[in-house]
Chains A and B, each alone.
Chain A
């Protein structure tokens, strides 16, 4: 049981480049989300999805796109990377969009550390 798998683990981009961070889960979770973790800021929600074909914005969506064509996958796209997007990105999934439902809360991947130079 792999849980939530994120690739790549590390990435360095030049300003203006685009890339896609991959996230896959094998738990048949309907809810998936992307957070970024920055020092002194905690984790902040970028985008989320409550099921295939449904996505919505979180607290800090600017500069990012998402799509959800399957239950398993939820890629995050950086359209034109900026140094302000240097961060650690975490994908999370859950049985329910409500973090208080179910038993284990949100299941997080191990993260992607992105540096934009």
Chain B
């Protein structure tokens, strides 16, 4: 059973557009929500993360929006660039745990 549900599976965006990837979870014990970025042939790398005490976190062109009551969080990539083309994974964990539960991934393609 997938602990974190992610959509869409793939996304095509024009250069300069906004990319939005959504995730949902059921386990209310989750209190750490990172996004990982993976380029072809590479391992995932931490992109940005949020904790449920805030509703939004922004780092450059990347923003996480978090809705605790809906148990949903999303990644927004503003002014998307071809270099952003990668697979994005949302994840969730519980403080003190030894595991990250990953979503199924979204393959983003940014067209020049």
The reply to whether A56 and B95 contact each other, CB–CB distance below 8 Å, is no
- Across the interface, name the chain A residue whose C-beta is closest to B47: A105
The reply to whether A92 and B32 contact each other, CB–CB distance below 8 Å, is no
B104 at the A/B interface (Cβ < 8 Å)?
yes
A53 at the A/B interface (Cβ < 8 Å)?
no
The reply to whether A104 and B99 contact each other, CB–CB distance below 8 Å, is no
The reply to whether A99 and B32 contact each other, CB–CB distance below 8 Å, is yes
Tell me the bound Cα distance from A108 to B2 in angstroms: 21
The reply to whether B43 and A108 contact each other, CB–CB distance below 8 Å, is yes
The reply to whether A31 and B89 contact each other, CB–CB distance below 8 Å, is no
Number of A-B contacts (CB under 8 A): 72
Tell me the bound Cα distance from A68 to B26 in angstroms: 34
The reply to whether B98 and A31 contact each other, CB–CB distance below 8 Å, is yes
A56 and B32 in contact, given A100-B49, A108-B45, A110-B41 (Cβ under 8 angstroms): no
- Across the interface, name the chain B residue whose C-beta is closest to A109: B43
The reply to whether B44 and A90 contact each other, CB–CB distance below 8 Å, is yes
Give B28-57 interface residues, CB cut-off 8 Å to A.
31-32, 34, 36, 41-46, 49, 51
